[in-house]
């Protein structure tokens, strides 16, 4: 792995992607306590649920001080308003070497903003391959989560496995789908978008938001080992 500069501070045309700071805690916990978000995971509005979100935020802050730093969870912020839209991240793995698990979630108020998810995913994947020198980025999503599934396809990823997921997926008759993206295929996909005959068509399609359906199409990914949103 290369040695990137910290703290992380990335830009896209409309958003800033940066390491969390303590003052972001209120907004982070607030969107995770939103009734729509809690409904997705079957969580109730309790002190325990709030404490879980607080602990998750603490973990993200702790990761920033690890030596070497292996996990990268950053906030997504609107450049104009500084509002938090959600978070995205990479968790580096020891096996296989130079790989990481990708995750993204948008706050419920932004579940219909597909272009935001594309910009955030593009920024994090580019960071992983270019700055962290990763060879493979993997991820998982629920079969009912159409937006994330199309995100994986948009960046050239391939489906590698399908299996029963955690309880909140099984209650909806969903399965958990694994996908994988290697650096070579990502580079080829990027070149096609920029230079291919259908580049403009692809760009136009990427700008079209999907209809918001919180029951089946929330833009969210999870750490399947804990059932926690990442």
Tens-digit pLDDT profile for residues 83-120: 999 999 999 977 678 999 999 999 999 988 888 888 99
| Rounded Cα distance, 120 and 106, in Å | 10
pTM for this model (two decimals): 0.77
Please give the chain's pLDDT, 230 residues, in tens: 567 889 999 999 999 999 999 999 999 999 999 999 998 888 999 999 999 999 999 999 999 999 999 999 999 999 999 999 999 999 997 767 899 999 999 999 998 888 888 899 899 999 999 999 999 999 876 555 565 566 667 777 887 777 776 675 666 666 677 889 999 989 988 888 787 555 444 443 433 332 223 333 333 444 433 333 43
- pLDDT for the residue 52: 96
The domains of the chain, with CATH numbers, are 9-210+217-229 (3.40.630.30)
How far is Cα 28 from Cα 21, in angstroms, rounded to an integer? 11
Task: Dump strand ranges (E) for the chain.
Answer: 9-11, 15-19, 71-78, 84-93, 99-106, 136-142, 158-164, 175-182, 222-223, 228-229
**Cβ atoms of residues 28 and 58 within 8 Å:** no
pLDDT confidence of residue 100 = 95
The three-state (H, E, C) secondary structure of 140-191, written as one string? EEECCCHHHHHHHHHCCCEEEEEEECCHHHHCCCCEEEEEEEEHHHHHHHHH
Closest C-alpha to 73, from 39, 49, 99, 100? 100
Task: Report residue 142 as tokens.
Answer: 């629920």
What is the reported pLDDT for 73? 97
């Amino acid at each position: 792995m290369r040695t990137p500069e910290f703290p992380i501070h990335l830009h896209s045309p409309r958003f800033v992607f940066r390491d969390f700071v303590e003052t972001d805690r209120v907004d982070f916990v607030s969107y995770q306590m939103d009734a729509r978000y809690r409904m997705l995971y079957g969580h109730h509005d309790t002190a325990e649920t709030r404490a879980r979100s607080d602990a998750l935020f603490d973990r993200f802050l702790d990761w920033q001080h690890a030596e070497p730093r292996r996990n990268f969870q950053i906030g997504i912020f609107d450049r104009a308003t500084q509002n938090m839209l959600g978070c995205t991240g990479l968790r580096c793995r020891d096996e296989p070497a130079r790989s990481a698990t990708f995750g993204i979630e948008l706050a419920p108020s932004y579940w219909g903003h597909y272009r935001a998810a594309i910009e955030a995913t593009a920024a994090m994947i580019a960071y992983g391959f270019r700055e962290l020198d990763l060879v493979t980025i993997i991820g998982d999503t629920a079969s009912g989560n159409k937006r994330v599934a199309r995100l994986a396809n948009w960046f050239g990823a391939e489906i590698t496995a399908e299996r029963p997921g955690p309880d909140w997926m099984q209650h909806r008759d969903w399965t958990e789908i694994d996908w994988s993206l290697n650096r070579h295929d990502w580079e080829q996909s990027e070149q096609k978008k920029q230079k291919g005959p259908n580049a403009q068509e692809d760009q136009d399609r990427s700008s079209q938001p999907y209809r918001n359906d919180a029951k089946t199409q929330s833009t969210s990914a999870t750490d399947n080992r804990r059932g926690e949103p990442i």
